[in-house]
Chains A and B, each alone.
Chain A
């Protein structure tokens, strides 16, 4: 690399910092809003004159349905992530290393479904299915359609991950007498760990923030998930005064960012290594 002039470098870093601030400022703003005192929240200035950290306890004590909504979100998201990951690991492993008949066809259909606006168009019929199964207005019922939201992508990711596991390893395990299940458990999964982290994050982000299905398939506040509650909350006075909604917002958005921060190294490994090495 050519040695850079200091001036180019200054311009470069100024521009980068500008973009970084663009990304971070909205988040900083909402975080600050959640710890502003009431009068400060009415004024627009970014930095409050007086901090008030009580909004966080207030929302749990005074908004009746909030604990329930939060629980619904956690419950639906965990179930979705767990089931989708299991499906994706099994299918990815089988497609690459067991090659049952029809797996090529399955992969083709999965890829095709990504190019079609399935999520939007299928809602008409998904409503009908849920109604038929009496799952309208049920938190449990959301889990089923949620599983398929990212199923195709998760399977394709796991397929690519299992392609990295050398066939010889799997074969030698099988020669030693291990069945396909034992091989997957002892050889496959440990080697596919990074990919698993990626699909867990991906499915978490989708299920945790899903709006369309949740808003369409549920009616009562107690069975709804956090995204629907937040999207329908009109900021104003009382329970939903601005700093209080902002506190709810921070409570909802933080788990994802913390989880990403913790899994960040593993995630980049899954994401970047491949690109950098090839």
Chain B
């Protein structure tokens, strides 16, 4: 989930932009008059660097991976790749590991997604009620600190936090509270049943502050007299929250859910750092399965790896479409 900060901006700036567009009207000067060939091409120069890099490292690789997934391409051999049709897909779909690894990613998402939406929502509601402006600013700055810690550094930090020897979590459980001894202290990241929940907690921690800022911005956009009027009509705080506040935060929740669904299904860095390539480990998800096949097994079966990647991506896209559908229909 390395795209943290930017999404906050992405959410807010367009809304602001649209209002600005309405107020200025902006009749482009060269709208009605046809542009000369020279002007048109001069303008394209501005887009050139973006298009160049984007095609080079995003569009082409994806197209290429789609093509590879239909061939028996192996990176290490000199033989030309042969077209094998859907063979790789058939092999992937009939491999129980494909389904297990997709299931693990889904299990992680099911734990992570509610936590990363509900807890920040509560925190935002709490902070929104703070009347001391200076305190509110301090809170807001603290909230954004984890969002400026680069992804890998968050994972490394938590790898140490969960460390069973020097990690403060086990120190607390063993020496401060005495609930465990070092012999039976939990192995958080050791590929046990606790591993995926531990990773989920880490991810919730990472998004906690920044998602709260998200919700705070949404709360600030709700006109103050709306909850006031409801209270005068005798609505309790809970009803105000449920019927007035929550529906207005729904667009933000939609974006967060879709966004975080994508990041949590596609987690790879964390699992590479914590888990390694043990096929039994709960961190062996479809992304690791793909990476393992493409770079680690010694066979470098990239055609098969590409098919695994495509199956995982398509499963995600189908689910995202469904998510958008259920959220839309409620409006």
Task: Check A167/B168 contact, CB under 8 A, given A124-B68, A230-B156.
Answer: no
Q: Is the CB of A91 within 8 A of B47?
A: yes
B328 CB, nearest partner CB in chain A, Å: 15
Across the interface, which residues of A come within 8 angstroms of B24, CB to CB?
166-168
A145 to B, closest residue via Cβ: B57
Assess the B46–A16 pair: CB atoms within 8 A: no
CB distance from B277 to the nearest CB of A (A): 13
Which residues of A sit under 8 angstroms from B148, Cβ to Cβ? 201, 205, 256-257, 259-260
Do residues B157 and A115 form an inter-chain contact, with CB atoms below 8 A? Answer: no
Give a binary string over A123-141; 1 marks a CB under 8 Å from any B CB, 0 the rest: 1111111000000000000
Interface string of A5-48 (1 = CB under 8 A from B): 00000001101100110111011011001000000011011100
Q: Is there contact, CB below 8 Å, between B291 and A123?
A: yes
Q: Smallest CB-CB separation from B310: which chain A residue? A: A121
Whose C-beta in chain B lies nearest to the C-beta of A212?
B269
Nearest Cβ distance between residue B139 and chain A, in whole angstroms? 6
Are A19 and B13 closer than 8 Å at their CB atoms?
A: no
* Assembly CA distance A34 to B27 (angstroms): 59
List B contacts of A23 (CB < 8 A).
142-143, 145-146, 205, 208-209
Contact A257 B5 (CB under 8 A): no
B47 near A94 (CB under 8 angstroms)?
Answer: yes
Do residues B221 and A120 form an inter-chain contact, with CB atoms below 8 A? no
Q: Which residue of B lies closest to A16 (CB)?
A: B126
Interfacial chain B residues near A125, Cβ < 8 Å: 60-62, 64-65, 68
Verify A15–B150 contact, CB threshold 8 A: no
A16 to chain B minimum Cβ distance, whole angstroms, is 5
**CA distance in complex: A20, B174 (Å):** 24
Residues of B within 8 A of A119 (CB): 266
Q: Which of B27, B43, B61, B146 has the most CB of A within 10 A?
A: B61
Q: Which of A33, A201, A215 is in CB contact (< 8 Å) with B272? A: A215
A66 in contact (CB, < 8 A): no
B46 touches A91 (CB 8 A): yes
Q: How far is the CA of A22 from the CA of B218 in the complex (A)?
A: 23
The proximity string for B residues 14-43 relative to A, scoring 1 for CB distances below 8 Å and 0 otherwise, is 111111110011111100000000001011
How many angstroms from the CA of A179 to the CA of B58 in the assembled complex?
32
Residue A186 lies at the interface, judged by CB distance under 8 Å to chain B: no
Known: A117-B312, A151-B50, A155-B50. A16 touches B20 (CB 8 A): no
Q: By the criterion CB–CB under 8 Å, are A118 and B58 in contact?
A: yes
Q: How far is the CA of A226 from the CA of B64 in the complex (A)?
A: 30
Least Cβ–Cβ distance between B236 and chain A, in angstroms: 12
Partner of A249, one of B13, B153, B266: B153
CB distance from B309 to the nearest CB of A (A): 4
* Interface assignment of A268: CB less than 8 Å from any CB of chain B: yes
**Is there an interface contact between B145 and A121, defined as CB atoms closer than 8 Å?**
no
Residues of B within 8 A of A175 (CB): 29
**Cβ proximity bits B272-298 to A, threshold 8 Å, 1 near / 0 not:** 110000000000000100110011000
Q: A144–B52 Cα gap in the complex (Å)?
A: 11
A144 B262 Cβ-Cβ under 8 A: no
CB-defined contacts of A150 to chain B, threshold 8 Å = 3, 6
Residues from 29 to 88 in A contacting B, C-beta threshold 8 Å: 29-30, 33, 41-42, 44-46, 83, 86-88
- Complex: how many Å from CA A97 to CA B28? 8
B158 at the binding interface (Cβ < 8 Å): yes
Give the distance in Å from the alpha carbon of A46 to the alpha carbon of B176 in the complex: 11
B131 touches A153 (CB 8 A): no
A108 contacts partner chain B, Cβ-Cβ < 8 Å = no
Closest to A146 in B: B57
CB pair B13 A122 closer than 8 Å: no
Q: Is A1 an interface residue (CB 8 A)?
A: yes
Looking at the assembled complex, report how far the CB atom of A269 sits from the nearest CB atom of chain B, in whole angstroms.
11
Q: What's the minimum C-beta distance from A197 to chain B, rounded to whole angstroms?
A: 10
Report Cα–Cα, A97/B43, bound state, in Å: 10
For the A-B complex with A166-B24, A249-B157 known, give 11 more contacts whose Cβ atoms are closer than 8 Å: A44-B166, A106-B47, A113-B58, A124-B68, A124-B302, A163-B14, A175-B29, A198-B6, A235-B160, A259-B148, A272-B220
User: Can you spell out 23 A-B residue pairs with CB atoms less than 8 angstroms apart?
Assistant: A12-B130, A16-B127, A24-B142, A26-B205, A41-B166, A45-B175, A90-B49, A93-B46, A100-B43, A117-B312, A120-B268, A121-B61, A124-B290, A153-B3, A153-B6, A163-B14, A180-B42, A205-B149, A211-B269, A215-B272, A242-B166, A256-B148, A264-B141
> What residues make up the interface of A, taking CB atoms closer than 8 Å to B?
1-2, 4, 12-13, 15-16, 19-20, 22-24, 26-27, 29-30, 33, 41-42, 44-46, 83, 86-88, 90-91, 93-95, 97-103, 106, 109-110, 113, 115-129, 144-145, 147-157, 159-161, 163-164, 166-168, 171, 174-175, 180, 195, 198-199, 201-202, 205-206, 208-212, 215-216, 227-228, 230-231, 235, 242, 246, 249, 252-253, 256-257, 259-261, 264, 267-268, 270-278
Closest 10 CB pairs of A and B: A209-B150, A44-B171, A274-B16, A163-B17, A94-B46, A167-B26, A160-B13, A227-B152, A122-B61, A125-B61
